[in-house]
Amino acid sequence: MSVATFADRWPRPSVMGIVNVTPDSFSDGGSYASAVDAADAARRMLADGAALVDVGGESTRPGAEPVSQEEELRRVVPVLEALAGVPLSIDTSRADVARRAIELGAAMVNDVSALRREPEVAEVVAAAGVDLCLMHMQGDPGTMQVEPRYDDVVSEVAAFLEDRLRFAVERGVAEERICVDPGIGFGKTPDQNLELVRRLDTIVAIGRPVLVGLSRKSTLARVQGMPGPVGGEPASLGAAVAAFDRGASVFRVHDVPAHVAALTAAAAVERGSVLA
């Protein structure tokens, strides 16, 4: 009997809606007054075509300070409880938070540290048989944007992700349950972010589905000549379609309906057919 793979569960292109239950995330921090509001927003995203929603209780914006595990759990558990039975990802790099989220129905652990903060996350994922996303980040959220340096950002990110993929598999995670994320905006300059998207085929060549988080990133604000740190939705859509054209599979976004529409059209053009 064949085993369902990550790509079977989240076929390309799949949209992942963002539900940050934090006061300080770069774009939507403090957006939800209660767990009920956050859960309602998640359900709207799913109704609008998201394949799953990613719930996070610790900001990873540039310069963010870590929160305690107790605070992270206090933020996410009520939202996860309110979303019982819907497709969820938990955005965490802590093993106990991942374990509790899985108990409450999370189907994926989205670890921005790629198992470096708490390697035990691998055992939690392996034991539960859920999916895992491994992301590249230079440094940590508090330091990652302090003069990030690479000789070749694409080859170095690819080598990092290959190494973390090996580590996860050695710790018992089934390779067919893993995706990788080049970490747009996580320890990269705007030009390095654009180069990662331009040469995304190098990341795709690792052989695992690629998740990208381009939505509203500050690089897009720079491209648009905007003064603030948050990029606009039209630029987010353009970047997502560019990433899709280069092989990306999953798209972590704020504006679900617009991304679903844009990526549905891009996928139809790629296959040359209205119907999948």
> Do residues 22 and 35 touch, judged by C-beta distance below 8 A?
no
The pLDDT value recorded for residue 131 is: 98
pTM score: 0.93
The pLDDT value recorded for residue 30 is: 53
**Amino acid making up residue 123:** E
Please state the domain extents for the chain: 11-268
The pLDDT value recorded for residue 149 is: 87
Please list the alpha-helical segments (H only) found in the chain. Answer: 6-9, 35-47, 69-82, 95-103, 121-128, 153-170, 190-198, 200-204, 218-224, 233-245, 256-271
Within 13 Å, how many C-alpha atoms sit on residue 248's CB side? 28
Catalytically annotated residues: 217, 252
The pLDDT value recorded for residue 65 is: 80
Query: How far apart are alpha carbons 191 and 154 in whole angstroms?
Result: 12
Name which CATH class applies to 11-268: alpha beta
Which residue reads 């939505």 in tokens? 215
pLDDT digits (tens, 9 = 90+) for 104-160: 999 999 999 999 999 999 999 999 999 999 999 987 666 656 678 899 999 999 999
**Amino acid making up residue 146:** V
| Ranges of residues in the chain whose predicted pLDDT is under 50 | 1, 25-29
The pLDDT value recorded for residue 231 is: 81
pLDDT digits (tens, 9 = 90+) for 27-40: 444 567 789 999 99
